[in-house]
Chain A
Amino acid sequence: MSTKRKQRRVLPGFGLSMGYTIVYLSLIILIPLAVLVLKASTLSLADFWQTITDKRVVASYKLTLYTSLLAAIVNAVFGTLIAWILVRYKFFGKRIIDALVDLPFALPTAVAGIALTTIYSPNGWIGQYFESLGIKIAYTPVGIMIALTFIGLPFVVRSVQPVLQELDHQYEEAASTLGAGSVQIFVKIILPAIFPAIITGFALAFARALGEYGSVVFISGNMPMKTEIVPLLIITKLEQYNYGGAAAIATVMLGFSFILLFLINFWQWRTAKKHQVT
């Protein structure tokens, strides 16, 4: 007979909490997605293949992926900068800026899209100056990227900020007593410590951008082959009562997203593991 007693846990039983987790995830995520794939499978294989390899669809995949990726990269850089300023400096209006960061979450995305379009259109406040330089922002992929950057901004800031806050000054002091300059301290001491958080924020911003619809449709102009994003194509199919086609495109997009996010998470896990917590 075993005399070993089970270690006490905070939540009652692994079985119960795991069961709850699975039920919850199933109802919210797995079942809806399964239905999506099921719907896509109502198409014949030939139809399915034809739908997803349609030139217009392929162009939209490419556009969505690269604009999302670039927007996430821009956010990773500038989000980190904003987090840095919010953590390391004291200045007037800091709390207001801190609150401002969350606004893209709260604003209906369509409102954001219309506002951005108004400003960046060829005769808008900012767009007119770029227009005179020969650069078009609204109704081009650049406009899409601006919209995606806008909606993804909070992710990087909010994931880097707490980590930066926790980062003890003694590491920087230790590095400076060893003769490191400020650039060396940032690159060799601070960046490795906050990098996992930057990747987390990057992954979230990227994922959000892949599925974004509301803010993009206004600023993109929705020109087939040029500025048509995947979510828009799906809506178009739905409006034509082509549920199978919409599901097919969505399924492929889902596959892409899952693989990319899985890879990013794996990367994040590896860098975080290297930077173990003592």
Chain B
Amino acid sequence: MGISILDVSKRFGSYPAVKNVELEIPTGDFVALLGPSGSGKTTLLRLIAGLEGTDSGKILFNGVDYTNKTVKDRKVGFVFQHYALFRHMTIFENIAFGLKVRPRKFRPSKSEIKEKVFNLLKLVQLEQLADRYPSQLSGGQRQRIALARALAVEPEVLLLDEPFGALDAKVRQELRHWLREIHQKLNITTVFVTHDQEEALEMADTIVVMNKGMVEQIGSPEEVYQHPVNAFVYSFLGRVNELKGSTLSESTDRITDLADGTVGYIRPHEILLNKFQQGDSLPVEVSHVHTVGAVVRIEFKPLDTEEFYGAEMDIEKYKELGSVKKGNILYAEFKNIVVFGKETETPHVLTDTNRLSAAIH
């Protein structure tokens, strides 16, 4: 089922949680609502589910106005961050709940319910747990059951509120993969909320980046990562260094192209570090080196400044560089500074190294 969100706003008291959001979600899409906490992403999800009422704007499901429909009538599957499994019911009863509360006319027979529940348990690979209570399950298992329960009512839209937020890293990784598989199998329109950019980039077909109640950018993971429309999106997706034009040029007399007040951005893996001066690289002092798996992060500051930057390289490159210790002097080359103009917020990429060196001179 396709969902259209037309100019939707929602306030809590005087606090605007969602401001004039426009969003088109095609049938079968897998969408991530990505943003920091307080960006309105969960509120938007709850508005789609009908758990909150809109202040203005419309929500259409397949072109039909659903704005004033109750949660019950929207027939969406909703998965809560903390699972919200009914504690006094067994796993079987939890999954069967949505079928058992149907009006008698539409209620499946006992044997049909049983068959359906066991099919769902098979889908989430937890058939052996039917008679347990939620308190006897691990977090990852509970979240799978919560999903099975949401799917039991055959929703045409599946909404997940930070589904893996309360799980540890390893389980989270497993479940991400598994949820993708389920989406491929059932192909229902799925919207999930996350503050984890990695999760969004890894799972979603479409990413909706939100900030302060507004949509900043909508696009495929590649689009939003490679072509961020503004500084917020750029800095929210992945690690980033800020180059403040004024301070940097004052202290080094080298970066002049960055006018006062504008900020340049560069990803850590786009900073090259060398032991010897090459072309127009900047002398820097290493302040910290740490190895994270196959990646080495080096923190440094340009000489005579107090601004810290981070560079990232894979471990092979690091070995080529030779051992680096705190206090060593290296030469940094900034390959790919991105500048967002203040008014237009359109990116202006300084890719040409010659131009950059000109800028630094």
**Contacting B153 at CB < 8 Å: which of A171, A178, A274?**
A178
Classify the secondary structure of A's interface with B. helix
Mask of A192-203 contacts with B, CB within 8 angstroms, 1/0 = 110000000000
Q: A177-B150, A179-B153 are in contact. Are A170 and B82 (CB under 8 A)?
A: yes
Residue A181 at the B interface, CB < 8 A? yes
Contact flag A189-B86 (CB < 8 Å), given A173-B80, A177-B49, A177-B71: yes
The interface size of chain A toward B, counting residues with CB under 8 Å, comes to: 22
Does B321 lie at the interface of the complex (its beta carbon under 8 Å from any beta carbon of A)? Answer: no
Q: How far is the CB of B171 from chain A (nearest CB, A)?
A: 17
Q: Are B80 and A170 in contact (CB under 8 A)?
A: yes
Q: Could you say which residues of chain B place their CB within 8 Å of the CB of A181? A: 72, 101
List residues of chain B with CB within 8 A of the CB of A177: 49, 51, 71-72, 76-78, 150
- Contacts A173-B71, A174-B84, A189-B86 hold; do A184 and B101 have CB atoms under 8 A apart? yes
Task: Check: A278 CB closer than 8 A to any chain B CB.
Answer: yes
Q: Is B342 an interface residue (CB 8 A)?
A: no
Asked whether, in the complex, the Cβ of A275 is within 8 Å of the Cβ of B84, the reply is: no
> Is B133 an interface residue, CB under 8 A from the partner?
yes
Instruction: Give min CB distance, B148 to chain A, whole Å.
Output: 12
* A binding-site residues for B, Cβ under 8 Å: 168, 170-171, 173-181, 184, 188-189, 192-193, 274-278
Could you show 29 A-B contacts with beta carbons less than 8 Å apart?
A168-B84, A170-B80, A171-B84, A171-B86, A173-B78, A174-B80, A175-B86, A176-B70, A176-B71, A177-B77, A177-B78, A178-B97, A178-B98, A178-B101, A178-B152, A178-B153, A179-B102, A179-B153, A180-B72, A180-B97, A180-B98, A193-B87, A193-B88, A275-B87, A276-B87, A276-B133, A277-B135, A278-B134, A278-B135
Q: Which 3 residue pairs are nearest across A and B when measured between Cβ atoms?
A: A178-B98, A174-B84, A177-B78
Chain B residues within 8 Å of A, Cβ to Cβ? 49, 51, 70-72, 75-78, 80, 82, 84-88, 97-98, 101-102, 133-135, 149-150, 152-153
Other than the given A179-B102, A193-B87, A276-B133, 18 more pairs (CB < 8 A) read A170-B82, A171-B86, A173-B51, A173-B78, A173-B84, A174-B80, A174-B149, A176-B51, A176-B72, A177-B71, A177-B77, A178-B97, A178-B101, A179-B75, A179-B98, A180-B98, A192-B88, A276-B88
